Structure 1
Amino acid sequence: MSIVKQSVSKLSELPNLQDNLSTPQLVERALSRKEGVLSSMGAIKSTTGKYTGRSPKDRFIVKDEVSENLVEWGKINKPIEEKYFLSLLEKVVNYLEKKDEIFSLNGDAGADKSYQLPIKVYNEYAWQNLFAKQMFIRPTEEELETHEPEFTVISAPSYKADPKVDGINSEAFVLISFKHRIVLIGGTEYAGEIKKSIFSTMNFLLPQKDVLSMHCSANVGENDDVALFFGLSGTGKTTLSADSDRKLIGDDEHGWSPNGVFNIEGGCYAKCINLSQEKEPEIYNAIRFGAVLENVILDEDSRIPDFDDTSLTENTRVAYPIEHIENIKEPSMAGHPKTIVFLTADASGVLPPISRLTKEQAMYHFLSGYTSKLAGTERGITEPQATFSACFGEPFLPLAPAQYAEMLGEKIDKHDAKVFLVNTGWTGGKYGVGERMNLPYTRAMVRAAIRGELNDVTTVKDGIFGLEIPTHITDVPDDVLIPRNTWENKDAYDKTAKELAVKFHENFKKFSHVSDEITNAGPLYRAK
């Protein structure tokens, strides 16, 4: 028997293994083990130590005969030799063997059973097992009887690696082996690594089955009018897809197959920063028993959450099963999208709050994946930074971005989807001067786009970015729609906008293989 099979077999047979516990049982275990406390809202709250966001520098893919010629190797997908993976796997399993108890569950990734990936998750902590239980699709009791996992996740946060010995960068590690079909996590308590490692796995597997995997949220109206919301963390995917007038398909990860769109997950992982019942009632009301709060500050006596407190991190989170949202699509599948929204949180405050894109502009902005990376989503990010993340999800894409972009372009053409760029970032000035875009205005713009109200309206072309901006949208002040009008200092706007345009062009140089039509669909302004 191979080292891998021995290790996985050893885990599954441990006498200290607590397998497929119910939500109440996991809450009880987490509380009795002092892994967290119960909040006034009924959700358990845990903290994740110094790792309050993903650690991209500590994520590696095992380079072997399965991955070598398919993975786009580089700064995002860093290779690690198989020998280091096998060594760490054995060390982690031996470490978990000595624990009083560990926790496991069976789950699935992918609501469409034609493309579903059955998984097994092993956790050192009960609260992280609860997190995984709520984030992945939960098999029925009948399905559990014949459930055969095809991928395994092993998470041991308190196991610290030795970079000098283990071939990695720090004590923390997230290793993905497509050959051995295992994700190995250690040294970090941030539960998001569990979720995103499986997303990366699906981004490797699904395109090989003619399915576009997407970092987006999705919802659907009464007439099967599906809308997709692409964007990096903090741009508003979860918030804008949770719409009382539409059914939620999912808030973060989806596949687009020949059958239509399906949710990869069984839960939602929403940001809690400045959360309020008034502005985001669907998310706020989903925080109840069974949900997991991450790094949210509670009042010591009342245990009431303070969602405005960022003393631990701005990346405060809540994980809950999708059933905690009242208005959901069951099962989490629908038809082909009619509207696609690219979300960006532009900290420079110069992009329009909404603009209509041509097919070529859509491909340009999808490949660019521009946003301002918000504080807390990754270690070391303390204020917004301009970033370009191909396909609005490059950190999770094992394959070349062009492969995903080509698939999206084909689907936009085939299904005549309308595409919009929406700025949920700053208006009236850049970060520190202006203010964040008013959420009710953004909701009104997005709803107008989904209803088809912006397909044939009067627009003006932005002179710097070449974007078509609607001149009027119901329930939105006209001045808000033209970003230059919101700046007191027009010269400062022009200077800042041109600086961002140059950044777009510089970034796009790496896509030298794309057509001239797509390359020329970027900003009109070019530095002399």
Structure 2
Amino acid sequence: MYDCDLSFLGLDGKKALANAKASVLTEKALSRGEGHLSDTGAIVVNTGKYTGRSPKDRFIVDDEVSHDKVAWGSINMPFDEDKFEALYKKMTAYVGTLDEVYVFNGYAGADKDYQLPIRVVNQYASQNLFVRNLFIDPEDDEEAKKIDPQFTVIAVPGFHCDPEVDGTNSEAAIIISFKKRVVLIAGSRYCGEIKKSIFSVMNYLLPQKDVLTMHCSANMDDDGRTALFFGLSGTGKTTLSANPERGLIGDDEHGWSDNGIFNFEGGCFAKCIDLEEESEPEIYRAIRFGTVVENVVLDENGKPDYSDDKYTQNTRAGYQLSYIPNAVIPSIGGHPNTIIFLTADAFGVLPPVAKLNKYQAMFHFVSGYTSKLAGTERGVTEPQTTFSTCFGEPFMPLPASRYAELLGEKIDQYHCNVYLVNTGWSGGPYGVGSRFKLKYTRAIVSAATAGKLEDVPTVHDDLFNIEIPTSCPGVPSELLMPKNTWEDKEAYDKTAKDLAAHFVDNFKKYDTMPQEIIDAGPNIK
């Protein structure tokens, strides 16, 4: 811990508390009324209006550095450079009015060959504690002082934008400038905005060095066999990658370089809704002193009620990776032997497991499919298809074809096996069939990561254009062919064709995608 000069913000004479320990930041946060202690010593904060990311308030500055590189659109919305400069001056001036400011100097990226030195400036001590947990700490204050940050995040929730003057969509804004190498975060206390902003930065910078950046979890066995798990919310990514028999490299953000796999982060940001010690003991026990918990309800004794969604379903806990007993530190692994794309198909027509060749893998990687269930959102009365480019569309600034190209190159170079695993419904759609049993999905994942599906005979599915294994250790063979589990075969055919058509329609938006990848998708002709 040391005093940091804020002259880099144009604030001569203004000091900030830098790289403070968890005990200091926790004490500061409590004394400033930012939150309360839980019965396990974690600090619990309420983030107010913003309990999740605000995608309509996220922008990228359109300038000579970014203009020809970014895939502009409704996700990567352009922001005027002059407006950014004006807002930067207003926000740094606001920082100058604060009685206390907190700074973190550290890194994103566990592989030192591709590590990004970063600086985060926080209005709130609790957010600075979160940053300390989620990114990679320097060894000591001397190293921290020597860091020359290549990107700076300025996070001041107390500053509210004026949309008419500032050019934003609301009082909140998350704006990335690749030219100035600055991220501005205004109006939102949700810690995930800081985490995902740096992820977006890595997703822009590293592919230009031929590093594939991925929204996935990663683990490895005792022999160094590494596996990657891609999947949107509700597909089981966290559950299936958190295997006590395998070391956890990371739960969310990774790069794949010529050196192997590396985690971008030094911590985890886990969902807490309905958290139980019996089902997810590692996460449950990680919520202790030093952890920052968002929007969880506490009783009068400080005991969390993880089933209470009074504030949001998106309750979260940010803790250091070292809080997980089987964490791999430093969080680096070899080239993956296995890649698993997880989907929770509520239509019940995708097989529990399918083997994918390179082009099929590129197609499903870009598609990023799962389905929303009825009742999860207002107005959703039946399952709906959901596609998220590369399983992380909100954080991918470059064209999808660049990430797909890198994946194909890595698969070719390192000969990894790729599987599509459906953790959703079998025997019919949601409301008719039933969720595929977790024990069978675990058996599939175990077989895939151990290489036991490599030589299993397969049956080609002509519609979805994938190879379905005829057997898998620990799984009844009759469950592997989805049509066989449906009583109404005609209903299966219709539902399958409908879903296949959604895949094809969604892929039409990728107008720069090579034909080989397009042809690897479903065949609805």
Same fold (TM over 0.5): yes
Q: How many residues align?
A: 520
Which residue in the other structure is 1:286 paired with? 286
Which residue in the other structure is 2:177 paired with? 177
By how many angstroms is 1:123 displaced? 1.1
Which residue in the other structure is 1:508 paired with? 507
User: What is the alpha-carbon distance in structure 2 between the residues aligned to residue 378 and residue 155 of structure 1?
Assistant: 30
Which residue in the other structure is 2:126 paired with? 127
Moved more, 224-233 or 69-78: 224-233
1:277-356 correspondence to structure 2 within 5 Å: 277-298=277-298, 300-356=299-355
CA contact (8 A) 2:349 2:492 kept: yes
Query: Over residues 58-77 of structure 1, what are the superposed CA-to-partner deviations in whole Å (9 max), with x where a residue is unaligned?
Result: 11001111111111111111
CA contact (8 A) 1:124 1:157 kept: yes
Which residue in the other structure is 2:466 paired with? 467
Change (3 A) 1:359 1:194: same
Determine helix, strand or coil for the equivalent of 2:184.
Answer: strand
Determine helix, strand or coil for the equivalent of 2:385.
Answer: strand
Change (3 A) 1:408 1:224: same
Determine helix, strand or coil for the equivalent of 1:152.
Answer: strand
Moved more, 108-117 or 155-164: 155-164
Determine helix, strand or coil for the equivalent of 1:311.
Answer: coil
- Equivalent AA in structure 1 for residue 300 of structure 2: D
Change (3 A) 1:351 1:59: same
CA contact (8 A) 1:228 1:341 kept: yes
- Equivalent AA in structure 1 for residue 411 of structure 2: I
CA contact (8 A) 1:56 1:378 kept: no
TM-score normalised by length of structure 2: 0.92
2:160 matched to 1:160? Answer: yes
Query: Over residues 422-468 of structure 1, what are the superposed CA-to-partner deviations in whole Å (9 max), with x where a residue is unaligned?
Result: 12334444445555443333222111100011111233334532332
CA contact (8 A) 2:255 2:263 kept: yes
CA contact (8 A) 1:355 1:422 kept: yes
Determine helix, strand or coil for the equivalent of 1:227.
Answer: strand
Determine helix, strand or coil for the equivalent of 1:18.
Answer: strand
Consecutive unaligned residues in structure 1, runs of 5 or more: none
Query: Over residues 187-235 of structure 1, what are the superposed CA-to-partner deviations in whole Å (9 max), with x where a residue is unaligned?
Result: 1121101000000001111111221111111111122211111223443
Moved more, 320-329 or 368-377: 368-377
1:215-226 correspondence to structure 2 within 5 Å: 215-226=215-226
Change (3 A) 1:437 1:126: farther
CA contact (8 A) 1:234 1:271 kept: no
User: What is the alpha-carbon distance in structure 1 between the residues aligned to residue 377 and residue 412 of structure 2?
Assistant: 35
User: What is the alpha-carbon distance in structure 2 between the residues aligned to residue 512 and residue 77 of structure 1?
Assistant: 17
CA contact (8 A) 1:237 1:252 kept: no
Determine helix, strand or coil for the equivalent of 2:355.
Answer: strand
Aligned-pair RMSD on alpha carbons?
2.6
User: What is the alpha-carbon distance in structure 1 between the residues aligned to residue 382 and residue 9 of structure 2?
Assistant: 45
User: What is the alpha-carbon distance in structure 1 between the residues aligned to residue 115 and residue 382 of structure 2?
Assistant: 38
User: What is the alpha-carbon distance in structure 2 between the residues aligned to residue 284 and residue 488 of structure 1?
Assistant: 40
2:93 matched to 1:118? Answer: no
CA contact (8 A) 1:53 1:379 kept: no
Which residue in the other structure is 2:31 paired with? 32
Change (3 A) 1:233 1:123: farther
By how many angstroms is 1:363 displaced? 1.3
User: What is the alpha-carbon distance in structure 2 between the residues aligned to residue 88 and residue 9 of structure 1?
Assistant: 13
CA contact (8 A) 1:105 1:122 kept: yes
2:273 matched to 1:273? Answer: yes
Q: Identity, % of aligned pairs?
A: 60
User: What is the alpha-carbon distance in structure 2 between the residues aligned to residue 374 and residue 90 of structure 1?
Assistant: 44
Change (3 A) 1:353 1:136: same
Moved more, 437-446 or 358-367: 437-446
CA contact (8 A) 1:203 1:397 kept: yes
Change (3 A) 1:369 1:324: same
Consecutive unaligned residues in structure 2, runs of 5 or more: none
Moved more, 423-432 or 336-345: 423-432
1:66-465 correspondence to structure 2 within 5 Å: 66-141=65-140, 142-298=142-298, 300-372=299-371, 385-431=384-430, 434-465=433-464
By how many angstroms is 1:105 displaced? 1.0
Change (3 A) 1:209 1:187: same
User: What is the alpha-carbon distance in structure 2 between the residues aligned to residue 39 and residue 486 of structure 1?
Assistant: 47
Determine helix, strand or coil for the equivalent of 1:114.
Answer: coil
By how many angstroms is 1:489 displaced? 4.7
Which residue in the other structure is 2:60 paired with? 61
Query: Over residues 272-325 of structure 1, what are the superposed CA-to-partner deviations in whole Å (9 max), with x where a residue is unaligned?
Result: 223222222222222221111222222x22332222222322222111110011
By how many angstroms is 1:497 displaced? 2.2
